[in-house]
Amino acid sequence: MLAGCDAAGISRATFFRWRSEDQSFADAVRDADDGLTDRLVACLHSRALSGSDRLLLAALRARLPDVYGERRSVEVSGGIGVAVADLTPERLQGMSDAEISELRRMLRKLKGEPVERAAIPAEVLPG
């Protein structure tokens, strides 16, 4: 955009004003931007298929994140009997003080902080 402003002999402020005040100008800018995106994607595909493993992996991660995306998981043994994915605000509000204390202890452990192994009250244990 800056190079286009320089080539046209206008300031960035003029460009942004025209874009906000003139719908046909805004549409033309959007079309040009979409065209650039299309060209960048074509270039990416060409380079990825011609031997750049990093580009190929990046393209696959973007298109198929469930298959090629980075996987991150946390496993916690013992404790509160609830999956991390189930920790909604509503679920947290319904937890007992003992459950919240144990959750805090496990989170400190996950962060690498020293923790004492507290006795887990029976009402916190699953089953």
How far is residue 98 from each of residues 24, 42, 79, 108, 123, measured CA to CA in Å? Answer: 62, 56, 10, 15, 8
How far apart CA 6 and CA 121 sit, in angstroms, is: 70
How far is residue 51 from each of residues 18, 41, 42, 67, 68, measured CA to CA in Å? Answer: 42, 16, 15, 21, 18
0.85 surpassed by pTM: no
**Helix/strand/coil percent split, the chain, to 5:** 65, 0, 35
**pLDDT of res. 83:** 57
Residue-wise pLDDT tens digits, 71-116: 665 555 555 455 555 667 777 777 788 888 888 888 777 877 776 6
Residue ranges covered by each domain of the chain = 2-68, 73-127
- Among 16-20, 42-46, 50-54, 77-81, the range with the most confident prediction by mean pLDDT is 16-20
Locus of tokens 């013992």: 78
Per cent of the chain over pLDDT 90 is 21
CB contact at 8 A, 115 and 105: yes
